Amino acid sequence: MAETKRRPCLVVLILMSSLAFPLAATSLRRRKSLETIKSLNQNGPYLGLITVYPPEEDAFFSTGAFKHDPKHPFVDLSGRRYRVGKLEGKKIIYVRCGVGMVNAAATTQQMLDLFDITGIVHFGIAGNANNSMSIGDVSIPQEVAHTGIWDWLKQNGTLETDIVAHLDIGSYNVPKNRGINLLGRIGYRNEQFFSESGNPNTAQPLLWARISQNWLNLAANLEGMKLEQCVNSSLCLPQKPKLVVGLRGSTANVFVDNAAYREFLFNTFHVSSVDMESSAVVTTSLSNGFAVIVIRGLSDLAGGQPGKNSIDIFGPLAARNTAKVVIQFVKTLP
């Protein structure tokens, strides 16, 4: 009987030991990474570059403009690889954050907390919600909004006084006289903005997060730069892509591929680009008191096109044009 009672204890000890080894290994790797970052910061400060997913990263590195640091080419932390190097003579910390606002905000905060950073350049591709823009164009917005904070109400539900816009889903019934739409209506709310310049633990309502004006002024000088028109030798856009500075961008954890919702976003918020990360990077940067800019290449019409979304076809071209603008912008920085 005594031997039987001891066996569960042995099993528990074995399980605890098996759990402790990976935790210890993770802790050791993290300590080494933090030591490397401490060493890197002695050679700072750095400009932070944040993109989102592999095709954007591939387009950026394929330019050959980024030169890895020979001693510490990268440091891994929290599952992400922060690359260290130079771009147009500027010291750079580059990272790919991953899709969505949580990844974008977490990565931005980690970069600002741990590295000696002067500011953030966020770049990638986006959907186009503005009919005056075209696929292949690059937009550097003057402000971005988080358009994913909703109150989803009943049909004819009461909108609170602090709602900044609303969408009545029944307005899109086909045919129009079909009757009540049980999905009701959506009310859009402001972001809650906490910042170094505000009172502690006190949020300010924020719809439009504004890009740092001095960086926006520098970017405006790049309008007119030449961008690529062709995906390959057999597929080209009908018009030459352009860089436009000073529009608006929309961010939410939604991949927009719906013509009606695209039209609603443009008519209601007057946004030209739609993506899933920009406002998270901008809000986090501004909250910490850092300069920030967004550079987004337009890869598709966010549902405004007939047939299949064109992101797979024109995404690589939009990513290459975005990378070209990023390099030129970094070059202009003093």
Q: What are the residue boundaries of the structural domains of the chain, listed by start?
A: 1-42, 44-149+190-332
pLDDT in tens, 32-71: 999 999 999 999 999 999 999 999 999 999 999 999 999 9
CATH class of 44-149+190-332: alpha beta
Phi, psi of 266 (to 5 degrees): -70, -45
Q: Residue 177: pLDDT band by 50, 70, 90 thresholds?
A: confident
C-alpha distances in Å from residue 60, one per residue of 94, 100, 105, 219, 326 = 11, 20, 21, 18, 9
pTM, whole model, 2 decimals? 0.91
Distance CA 106, CA 77 (A): 12
- Are 240 and 135 a contacting pair, CB within 8 Å? no
* Pick from 28-32, 134-138, 282-286: least confident: 28-32
* Pick from 21-25, 56-60, 270-274, 277-281: least confident: 21-25
Q: Which one, of 318, 311, 313, 262, lies nearest residue 295 by Cα?
A: 318
pLDDT higher than 80, residue 110: yes
Query: What is the signed CA dihedral for 96, 100, 106, 107, rounded to 10 degrees?
Result: 10
